[in-house]
A = this chain, B = another copy of it.
Amino acid sequence: MTALQDLYPDDFAHCYGCGRLNTHGLHVKTEWQDGEGVAHFQPAPHHITLPGFVYGGLLASLADCHAIATAAGATMVATGQVPGRDPTPRFVTASLNVDFLRPTPLGPELLLRSRATEIGERKVVVGLSVFVDGLECVKARVVAVRAPTTMRASGGS
């Protein structure tokens, strides 16, 4: 299945976290499955906070990009489009709240699962969790808003 981030328009595809056109980036990929966003991510050995544990800033970054794609997916479903097939609308983050429930061990692949809890015309709220080997390590809540036209490369600024 095509990731939602791979269907962003070109001028919205440079994000360090998830843009397919950012050659230095993390390339977070969100797939749409049964009404939720699902992503897998393998942290690099240098993505640590203390030896053996995943860096919180990386977890916040993954949560951010995954939630933004989930906000887009939920909006698409609400408007009759198909996430992973149709172009993905670009949201940006208004607010990012991350609770580190326990240290996240470095080694296994991370699983991110997310769901929109509130879908407005301009604003979508997303809840998500990060799991390692079935254990919930991180919970996050993200408020996403449609990218303002002033942020488009083609829209000035």
Contact = CB atoms under 8 A, between A and B. Distances in A.
Given A24-B46, A48-B15, A100-B95, A64 B57 contact: yes
A87 interface: no
So how many copies of this chain end up in the complex?
Answer: 2
Contacts of A117: none
Contact of A55 (B12, B17, B47): B17
Interface residues of A, number: 47
A135 interface: no
Given A52-B151, A57-B61, A57-B62, 19 more contacts: A15-B48, A15-B49, A15-B55, A16-B57, A16-B58, A17-B55, A22-B46, A25-B46, A49-B92, A50-B90, A50-B92, A50-B152, A53-B151, A56-B96, A57-B57, A92-B100, A92-B103, A103-B148, A103-B151
Interface in A15-29: 15-17, 22-26
